[in-house]
Amino acid sequence: MPEQKKRNNRSVANGTVSTKEAAITLNAVSVYFDTFKAIDNISIAFRKHSVTAIIGPSGCGKSTLLRTINRMNDMIPSCAVEGEVYFEGRNIYDPRVDPVEIRRRIGMVFQKPNPFPKSIYNNIKWPAQINGLEVNYDELVERCLQRTALWDEVKDKLHQNAFRLSGGQQQRLCIARSIAINPEIILMDEPASSLDPVSTAHIEELIDELKKNYTIIIVTHNMQQAGRISDKTAFLTVNSQQAGKIVEYSDTRKMFLNPQNKETEAYISGRFG
Ligand code: ADP
Ligand code: MG
């Protein structure tokens, strides 16, 4: 890509988030599955210690974009990523960067709760142990479960299999597990979409609490949820070649009250998607 085009993209990238405020900055990122382009030249910066929602119709590339941020797309052999993703001054796609370290520092929570087939206790101890964290595991387990508001519900059954918890509890355990290894960023891909309203409310409260210490980027197809929990929202949709593009990115309140783009307005008022 010509240098001039790259520089132009960089200025679009930062939008309302300055380089100093950014936890992650994508510069001219395109993603392919074999020859199919799923993400088209996206540039965006995500602000530290805040919650950014990614919204958009099904299939527009939200999950793909999220996976680009911690190199989870590396797991898909047909997938190729172009462009740069800056995290603390380094492009995470630089060949010298270890993807395992990136995934430790940029954690991920999925749509379907996926605890390990282990005890509640070991779901938290195990990732800390394999990451070489030398800590008091009893304290770590309690701290992570307290922070995810799960401690009181599980403190008497820590050695029970995690699969015996409810779906909502399993998802909070997955969040507890993700913070056990001290990430800086937590990516969440529709973390509440398989949960009942009460569990969803728990997860939303938790996100609000966690943003004090972590940067959170969350994909949601629930407009009300994006409105309740996020500081900023990026609206993604597909171009004529079905590749995902960001059409609008701004403060959530601003976007919901006064969208600047016709497609955003149609989407948030429920006319498509
Ligand atoms: P969303 O999360 O917004 O619903 P995805 O990121 O899952 O969208 O998918 C974006 C596009 O990329 C879709 O057209 C989808 O079919 C395609 N895609 C996603 N994952 C793969 C894959 N592993 N192989 C091939 N195509 C994929
Ligand atoms: Mg998805």
Which ligand sits closest to the CA of 65?
Answer: 1
Tell me what pLDDT residue 84 has: 97
Residues touching ligand 1 (Cβ under 6 Å) are 33, 38, 58-64, 76, 78
Q: How far is the CA of 153 from the centre of ligand 2 (A)?
A: 30
Residue of minimum CA distance from atom 21 in ligand 1? 33
SS (H, E, C) the chain: CCHHHHHHHHHHHHCCCCCCCEEEEEEEEEEEECCEEEEEEEEEEEECCCEEEEECCCCCCHHHHHHHHCCHHHHCCCEEEEEEEEECCEECCCCCCCHHHHHHHEEEECCCCCCCCCEHHHHHHHHHHHCCCCCCHHHHHHHHHHHCCCHHHHCCCCCCEHHHCCHHHHHHHHHHHHHCCCCCEEEEECCCCCCCHHHHHHHHHHHHHHCCCCEEEEECCCHHHHHHHCCEEEEEEECCCCCEEEEEEEEHHHHHHCCCCHHHHHHHCCCCC
pTM of the model: 0.92
Residue of minimum CA distance from atom 17 in ligand 1? 38
Which of the listed residues 34, 35, 36 should we mutate to test ligand 1's pocket, taking the one with most ligand atoms within 8 A of CB? 36
Which ligand sits closest to the CA of 56?
Answer: 1
**10-residue averages of pLDDT along the chain (273 residues):** 44 62 96 97 96 96 97 95 96 96 95 96 96 93 94 97 96 95 96 91 93 96 93 94 93 94 92 57
Tell me what pLDDT residue 272 has: 59
